[in-house]
Amino acid sequence: MQNKCLDVFWRVLYLDGFLNLLKPPGLTSHDVVEQVRALFPDHKVGHGGTLDPGAAGVLPVLLGKATKLSSYLVDFPKIYRAELFLGLTTDTADSSGKIIAQKNPFSFKSEEIERVLNSFTGEIQQIPPMFAAIKQKGKKLYQYAREGITVERKPRTVNIYYLKLIDYFPPERIILEVKCSKGTYIRTLCSQIGDALGCGGHMSFLLRKEVGEFLISQTHLLEDLINLCNTGTAEQLLRPLDFPFRKADGLLLSQEGTKYLFHGRFLFLKELQDKSRNAVIKPVDEKIVPVYTTEREFVGLARWKFDSISGFTLKPEKMIKLF
């Protein structure tokens, strides 16, 4: 059992921020959170988007005040590398399920595969698989499935920003890369593509490469975190609270403006332009922006709102620090 990160100076240091961890296959996202929680028992711990147990890849883990920002991480686009195995259809749409249909796959030309992939870009409809963690009538779908019960699921609209053919090993294996919106089931997408190719198929491998600003090239192993905890240097893996929003146009607010947002009040654009140290303010309706003090300390998120009477106003979205 790993040592707690309270053994040295963690008794007086509370960490707020993000860990970019590499989830191995075989662990659930919750398993990873529990292992981190064991290291930081006095901290709130969460994650920024569920990854299937059999999948590997980027798993943002949230510590302390970062847990207040979890819902915004879920909204970020994600990039996956997946293997589609043609000819075998399973009840889970991945390799963990039972084979429910089998057909000898054809040998395709790359152009034929790419033509089918292009038909799945943009907004598409997906029916969530029965083996999924989403709830229906207070119960997770996979719980119904394990009881042999199939319930009706409504189609969902998701966005496939791009869908690339990376490699093809005829006749069964296709390697894909997908950039998609939240709520996309890659195993369902693989099943849909297999059906469109006329032979069925299932997802046999999944790697999550990116979640917004969290990149697989910058991930750390759980073992790395444990080792650094043992030497009292785990803080070096921590990303700051504004890390996921660093590419957004942040706003610098006076102490008065910051207090307005913390008390649930809004700020008019003209007022901000008159008093702000921001070089240029370019509001976009419904856009979320990070907010900083004039000393560039991150204090939370705000949202631009527009109406024909007041014009643009800045309203508090999620304020997490008061200086």
Where in the sequence numbering do the catalytic residues fall?
Answer: 52
d(CA 179, CA 189): 12
The token duo for 204 is: 């046999």
What's at 213, amino acid-wise?
Answer: E
Tokens 């994650």 belong to: 47
Smallest Cα–Cα separation from 186: which of 48, 55, 25, 61?
Answer: 55
| Conformational region of residue 24, where left means phi above 0, alpha means psi within -120 to 50, and beta covers everything else | beta
Q: How far apart are the first and last CA of the chain?
A: 38
Cα–Cα nearest to 19, from 67, 77, 79 = 67
Residue 194 CA, distance from chain mean position: 25
Residue type, position 267, single letter: L
Of 50, 46, 52, 49, nearest to 25 (Cα)?
52
Helix (H) or strand (E) holding 192, with range, is helix 186-196
Rg (CA), the chain: 23
Residue 226 CB neighbour total at 10 angstroms: 17
E strand or H helix at 116: helix 110-118
Smallest CA-to-CA distance from 232 within 62, 47, 41, 40 is with: 40
Instruction: Please name every residue paired with 20 in a beta bridge, in sequence order, or none if there are none.
Output: 60
